[in-house]
Amino acid sequence: MSYETLLVERDGPVLLTTVNRPKALNALNGVVLDELSSVLDEAREDRGVRTLIVTGAGDRAFVAGADISELSALTPETARAFALRGQAVFSRLEALGKPSIAAINGFALGGGCELAMACTLRLASEAATLGQPEIDLGLLPGFGGTQRLPRLVGRGRALDLLLTGRRVDAAEAERIGLVNRVVPAAALLDEARALAGNLAAKPALALRYILAAVHGGADLSFEAASHTEATLFGLVAASDDMKEGTRAFLEKRRPRFQ
């Protein structure tokens, strides 16, 4: 399937999705959101897709934010609808049931930072810059940034970034937990592909249940979340992959997960 604003490349079990609006620094607009939603449908329905990589075209930006020309025309009603639309797409990404990797190759600001935070893991090039500068437009993040950022970096650090609009470089983003790893710019996609390949080789059911336990448990009490964990642990124990994994360990060989 061809897209107007995305480049989508299938490499075995890995689906590489590139936001392709380099002249607009890959800014998010309604078309990008709709097409991302279609890609998520493809990734969810295709059992051969095991991992998703999201990045931006060119060297300057992952996604520099939402399209300001669209934002400037919003009314209170259309602004709320636009926020709900973006939240829905990013929540679907977070709840995909398959790992996703943000390969952050430049500016990840506003909606771009929110997109990266909705991914399972974040790799940043040394040249990456992240932040939520909506305050300087008289706005606040609308695609989940006020909720995901505190969960990643803590309330105090999140409020610092949200209230000041301050941008952080890749090193600081790694130090505060906003990204998982910083790599040389020239190696970013290679590192992302290697990580995606590593994840794709893991047992799919265990991956899905780990994601379900972590994301689903975030809004529960520790006791309730632990109960969910135990239930998922019981379910995965019935899988052929669990039997293969434990058998391979005892036989001192590499497992062959199906």
In b/e form, how buried is each residue of 101-138, taking b as 16+ CB within 10 angstroms?
bbbbbbbbbbbbbbbbbbbbbbbbbebbbbbbbbeeee
Q: Which of 70, 114, 172, 223 is catalytic?
A: 114
Q: Is 191 annotated in the active site?
A: no
Contact 62, 104 (CB under 8 A): yes
Contact 28, 111 (CB under 8 A): yes
Give the integer Cα–Cα distance in Å for 86 and 34: 9
Q: Which of 35, 70, 126, 134 is catalytic?
A: 134
Contact 257, 245 (CB under 8 A): yes
Query: Which one, of 135, 127, 112, lies nearest residue 169 by Cα?
Result: 127
Size of the chain, expressed as the number of residues it contains: 258
Q: Is 35 annotated in the active site?
A: no
Contact 84, 143 (CB under 8 A): no
Place of tokens 């809004």: 219
Any idea which residues carry the catalytic annotation? Answer: 114, 134
